């Protein structure tokens, strides 16, 4: 029997992950779940939000389901450390970013596929005053370990760093800025990682019959990093003659998001641009309550909803949060390990609940979150899980 490492994390992660496991059990997926420590409590009490014992468990079992994480700027994080840990040089880091780098989870897949009947789906006004609701079926491939999120940055850069940067002619615009008033962040893109994510995008498009792959970057300004990715994409596309290669600038793509979103199949981008565009497309299919993702490496895979820990909702009892993003992340896990029958069973059950519209979470009813949402017809987290289980 397969063992899955369960990483509840913080806030609503501790709510939606157990509900997903309850659904997986009901759908007939047989597995052992080993709960592991990760998140804000472990930062505050141990000075490490990602203990080595958790890394060891993931290394052993290879597959993990992740709930949500609380991240704060390092200055705030320092204030919440236990008194005995303060002033010891500890630095806060995002544990999910660390996991991506430790296990080289360099391929992030974020499907943005709309469910029929979801009241949050994007609709578009036609010239005659009528409306249509395009079917969104876009999958974003985000390079997950490099780019602007690689973490190579400095505030008040040391002399050797500044000297190195000042060999670039563009640094002349900052020559009079004192180092203590300067922050530098790098965007690092490598050929190997770019080739891997772009080829993964084309392979996915071929496997699931998507007609186009769009590279969403900014090569007219970021000439070296985006330029490298565009050059690689053009070369790789020659191996997939049946698939069109499109390229768009990230800013223009966000403008076009609501113009013709149904035209885009697979989109591939660097880390930050992939983060931006995937959240943009998620907004067209219901928001973060429906946004799932997979972080894939050669040996380890971690599946997570893309929403945050939403601490203001975590203490509400009963819980109001929408667990569907967590459910869909679990479906991605099932597909990754070849459990396609159970994956389809769960996805179809979710689709039926959404289309019937009898059970809807507060976000699906376009309500502001709070304990009064039940009076207005919203279901609890548990009731949404029950509804999906009843439709299996």
| Per-residue pLDDT tens over the stretch 104-116 | 999 999 999 999 9
Structure confidence at residue 72 as a pLDDT band (50, 70, 90): confident
| Per-residue pLDDT tens over the stretch 207-265 | 999 999 999 999 999 999 999 999 999 999 999 999 999 999 999 999 999 999 999 99
What structural domains and CATH numbers belong to the chain? 1-106+297-392 (3.40.718.10), 122-147+189-284 (3.40.50), 152-185 (no CATH)
Q: Residues near 295 by Cβ (< 8 Å), separated by ≥ 6?
A: 96, 99, 100, 105, 107, 108, 144, 301, 302, 303, 304
Average pLDDT, the chain: 96
Query: Residue 216's pLDDT is what?
Result: 98
Structure confidence at residue 46 as a pLDDT band (50, 70, 90): very high
* Token pair 């959404």: residue: 354
Q: How far apart are CA 98 and CA 101, in angstroms?
A: 5
Q: What is the SS3 assignment for 49-104?
A: CCCHHHHHHHHHHCEEEEEECCCCCHHHHHHCCCHHHCCCCCCCCCHHHHHHHHCC
Q: Residues near 375 by Cβ (< 8 Å), separated by ≥ 6?
A: none
CA atoms lying within 13 Å on the CB side of residue 316: 20
Query: Residue 73's pLDDT is what?
Result: 85
Structure confidence at residue 392 as a pLDDT band (50, 70, 90): very high
**What is the mean predicted confidence (pLDDT) over 334-345?**
97
Position 71 pLDDT exceeds 90: no
Query: Residue 74's pLDDT is what?
Result: 82
Please say whether the beta carbons of 360 and 378 come within 8 A.
yes
Q: Residues near 179 by Cβ (< 8 Å), separated by ≥ 6?
A: 156, 157, 159, 162
pTM: 0.94
Percent of the chain with pLDDT over 70: 100
Query: Residue 151's pLDDT is what?
Result: 87
**What is the mean predicted confidence (pLDDT) over 75-83?**
92
């Amino acid at each position: 029997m397969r063992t899955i490492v369960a990483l509840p994390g913080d806030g609503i992660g501790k709510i939606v992950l157990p509900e997903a496991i309850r659904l997986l059990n009901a759908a007939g997926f047989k597995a052992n779940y080993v709960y592991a420590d990760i998140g804000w409590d472990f930062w505050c009490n141990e000075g490490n939000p990602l203990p080595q014992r958790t890394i060891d468990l993931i290394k052993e079992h290879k597959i993990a389901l992740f709930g949500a994480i609380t991240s704060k700027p390092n200055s705030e994080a320092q204030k919440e450390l236990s008194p005995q840990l303060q002033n010891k040089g500890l630095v806060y880091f995002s544990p999910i970013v660390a996991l991506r780098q430790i296990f080289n989870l360099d391929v992030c897949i974020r499907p943005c596929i709309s469910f029929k009947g979801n009241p949050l789906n994007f609709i578009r006004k036609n010239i005659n005053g009528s409306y249509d609701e395009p079917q969104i079926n876009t999958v974003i491939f985000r390079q997950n370990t490099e780019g602007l999120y690689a973490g190579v940055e400095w505030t008040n850069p040391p002399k050797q760093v500044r000297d190195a940067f000042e060999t670039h002619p563009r640094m002349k615009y900052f020559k009079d800025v004192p180092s203590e008033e300067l922050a530098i962040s790098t965007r690092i893109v490598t050929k190997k990682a770019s080739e891997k994510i772009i080829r993964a995008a084309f392979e996915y498009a071929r496997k699931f019959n998507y007609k186009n792959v769009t590279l969403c970057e900014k090569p007219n300004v970021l000439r070296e990093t985006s330029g490298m990715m565009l050059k690689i994409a053009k070369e790789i596309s020659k191996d997939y003659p049946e698939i069109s290669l499109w390229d768009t600038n990230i800013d223009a793509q966000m403008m076009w998001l609501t113009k013709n979103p149904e035209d885009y199949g697979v989109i591939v981008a660097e880390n930050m641009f992939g983060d931006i565009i995937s959240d943009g497309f998620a907004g067209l299919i219901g928001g973060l309550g429906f946004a799932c993702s997979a972080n894939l490496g050669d040996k380890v895979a971690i599946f997570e909803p893309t929403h945050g820990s939403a601490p203001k909702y975590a203490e509400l009892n009963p819980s109001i949060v929408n667990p569907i993003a967590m459910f869909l992340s679990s479906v991605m896990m099932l597909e990754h390990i070849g459990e396609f029958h159970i994956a389809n069973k769960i996805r179809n059950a979710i689709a039926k609940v959404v289309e019937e519209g009898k059970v809807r979470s507060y976000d699906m009813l376009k309500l502001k979150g709070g304990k009064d949402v039940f009076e207005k017809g919203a279901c609890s987290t548990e009731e949404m899980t029950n509804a999906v289980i009843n439709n299996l």
